[in-house]
């Protein structure tokens, strides 16, 4: 049985569902947003769009997480526009804040250096907390234990097309682990030792590396160096049991023990992407061409035959990020 759900949450009584969208056809999934109270306007905009474009037909539950308590305004405004159940959770202290064993002198020197070098979020501790939480903790939150699948949504993103299919069911039915819409290069300055650390881990644990993996998407030389390609993790549809599994758990533990979330500025995007690329087979990673998605400043707009018309998309395919100079779609294509 799923564990009891603590503190504040709102659970609507089950709504009448049409046969096409009945509960038994639904996947064990939730839509997940990490947000601050101050993100409420952007959160409401993202939720409104995803409800209109997708979720009013399926009524998947939403989960909101925050390291502080959500305030009444956030809960009220969000609950007002969601078609199904809504859960609000607080992140346990130790899943969020910089651990005591991190050498703060070393961490603050690294932040200062990255600030001097004008690296985005280089001086931010809270951004690092967020990246570490998204890398290794969100799927352990009590509210998420009952779910297998999640769709990560951020405040102020845009869903540019109708989603007339259930992406969770698609993942489930096709044995997928990780789904993305945008892939690009990571700033090397934020992850200077990440790849070497990953190589140490896989050398010690070759048993976790899947055959037929996506290494050649991430590396141009068979794994010696990282080409910095990753899936942009502000959009993710993925299987939390993959993160909960032994390979990823050991991998995160090893990475975390090196302190790179604080001594550098490791992002959850490369941390997730490299794991999906190594511990899953390449056909377990799915590019959701049909989902029109925008996170400033980039948009993925569907280019598959008829997809743009079918989805009543309001994006422009010519401006899609897919084959932009900074995109890693070419590296993705070459392993297909």
Please report, as ranges, the residues that interact with Mn ion according to CB under 5 A. Answer: 154, 234
DSSP H helices in the chain: 40-50, 56-58, 72-81, 104-116, 125-136, 167-173, 194-204, 215-218, 240-244, 246-257, 260-263, 268-279, 307-310, 329-334
The C-alpha atoms of residue 81 and residue 97 are separated, in whole angstroms, by 31
Q: How many residues does the chain have?
A: 336
34 touching ligand GDP, by CB under 6 A: yes
46 touching ligand GDP, by CB under 6 A: no
66 touching ligand GDP, by CB under 6 A: yes
Candidates 16-24, 30-38, 167-175, 179-187: pick the segment binding ligand GDP (CB under 6 A): 30-38
Options 155, 259, 260, 292; binder of ligand GDP; rule CB under 6 A = 155
35 touching ligand GDP, by CB under 6 A: yes
The C-alpha atoms of residue 81 and residue 46 are separated, in whole angstroms, by 11
Measured from the CB atom, is 267 or 311 closer to ligand GDP?
267
Closest Cα to residue 192, out of 110, 252, 128, 257? 110
User: What would the two tokens of residue 277 be?
Assistant: 């690329």
Q: Is 279 left (phi over 0), alpha (psi -120 to 50) or beta?
A: alpha
89 touching ligand GDP, by CB under 6 A: no
User: What would the two tokens of residue 275 be?
Assistant: 């794991």
Termini Cα distance of the chain: 40
User: What would the two tokens of residue 207 be?
Assistant: 């048993």
Q: Of ligand GDP, Mn ion, none, which one does residue 130 interact with (CB within 5 to 8 Å by kind)?
A: ligand GDP
Measured from the CB atom, is 34 or 275 closer to ligand GDP?
34
Options 49, 69, 154, 314; binder of ligand GDP; rule CB under 6 A = 154
x/- mask, ligand GDP, residues 120-139, rule CB under 6 A, reads ------x---x---------
Candidates 29-37, 165-173, 256-264, 324-332: pick the segment binding ligand GDP (CB under 6 A): 29-37
Closest Cα to residue 320, out of 186, 171, 160? 160
Q: Of ligand GDP, Mn ion, none, which one does residue 329 interact with (CB within 5 to 8 Å by kind)?
A: none
Q: Which of 51, 186, 236, 294 is catalytic?
A: 236
Catalytic-residue membership of 236: yes
273 touching ligand GDP, by CB under 6 A: no
Least distance CB 157 / Mn ion (angstroms): 7
Measured from the CB atom, is 37 or 216 closer to ligand GDP?
37
> SS in 3 state form for 217-264?
HHCCCCCCCCCCEEECCCCEEEEHHHHHCHHHHHHHHHHHHCCHHHHC
Least distance CB 156 / Mn ion (angstroms): 7
- Residue 13 makes CB contacts below 8 A (sequence gap 6+) with none
x/- mask, ligand GDP, residues 214-243, rule CB under 6 A, reads --------------------x---------
Measured from the CB atom, is 155 or 270 closer to ligand GDP?
155
Closest Cα to residue 177, out of 137, 142, 213, 141? 213
Least distance CB 154 / ligand GDP (angstroms): 4
Please give the backbone phi and psi of residue 104, each rounded to the nearest 5 degrees, phi first: -65, -35
Options 49, 67, 69, 220; binder of ligand GDP; rule CB under 6 A = 67
The C-alpha atoms of residue 69 and residue 7 are separated, in whole angstroms, by 10
The catalytic residues are: 236
Residues at the site binding ligand GDP, with contacts judged by CB under 6 A: 34-36, 39, 66-67, 126, 130, 154-155, 234
């Amino acid at each position: 049985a799923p564990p009891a759900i603590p503190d504040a949450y709102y659970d609507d009584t089950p709504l009448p569902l049409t046969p096409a969208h009945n509960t038994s056809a639904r996947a064990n999934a939730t839509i997940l947003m990490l947000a601050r109270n101050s993100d409420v306007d952007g959160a409401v905009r993202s939720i409104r769009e995803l409800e209109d474009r997708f979720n009013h037909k399926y009524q998947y539950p939403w989960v909101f997480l925050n390291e502080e308590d959500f305030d009444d305004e956030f809960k009220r405004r969000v609950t007002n526009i969601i078609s199904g159940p809504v859960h609000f959770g607080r992140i346990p202290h130790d899943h969020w804040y910089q651990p005591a064993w991190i050498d703060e002198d070393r961490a603050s020197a690294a932040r200062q250096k990255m600030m001097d070098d004008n690296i985005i979020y280089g001086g931010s501790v809270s951004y690092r907390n967020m990246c570490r939480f998204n890398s290794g903790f969100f799927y352990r939150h009590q509210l998420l234990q009952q779910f297998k699948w999640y769709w990560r949504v951020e405040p102020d993103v845009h869903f540019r097309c109708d989603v007339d299919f259930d992406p969770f069911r698609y993942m489930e039915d096709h044995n997928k682990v990780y789904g993305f819409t945008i892939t690009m290069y990571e700033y090397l300055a934020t992850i200077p030792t990440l790849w070497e650390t990953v190589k140490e881990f896989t050398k010690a644990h070759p048993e976790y590396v899947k055959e037929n993996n996506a290494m050649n998407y991430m590396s141009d030389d068979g794994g010696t160096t990282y080409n910095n390609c990753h899936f942009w993790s502000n959009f993710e549809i993925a299987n939390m049991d993959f993160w909960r599994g032994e390979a990823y758990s050991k991998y995160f533990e090893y990475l975390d023990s090196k302190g790179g979330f604080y001594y550098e500025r490791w992002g959850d995007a490369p941390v997730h992407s490299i794991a999906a690329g190594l511990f899953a087979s390449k056909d377990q990673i799915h590019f959701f061409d049909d989902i029109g998605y925008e996170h400033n400043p980039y948009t993925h707009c569907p280019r598959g035959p008829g997809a743009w018309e079918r989805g009543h998309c309001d994006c422009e395919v010519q401006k899609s990020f897919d084959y932009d100079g900074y995109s890693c779609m070419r590296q993705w294509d070459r392993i297909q």
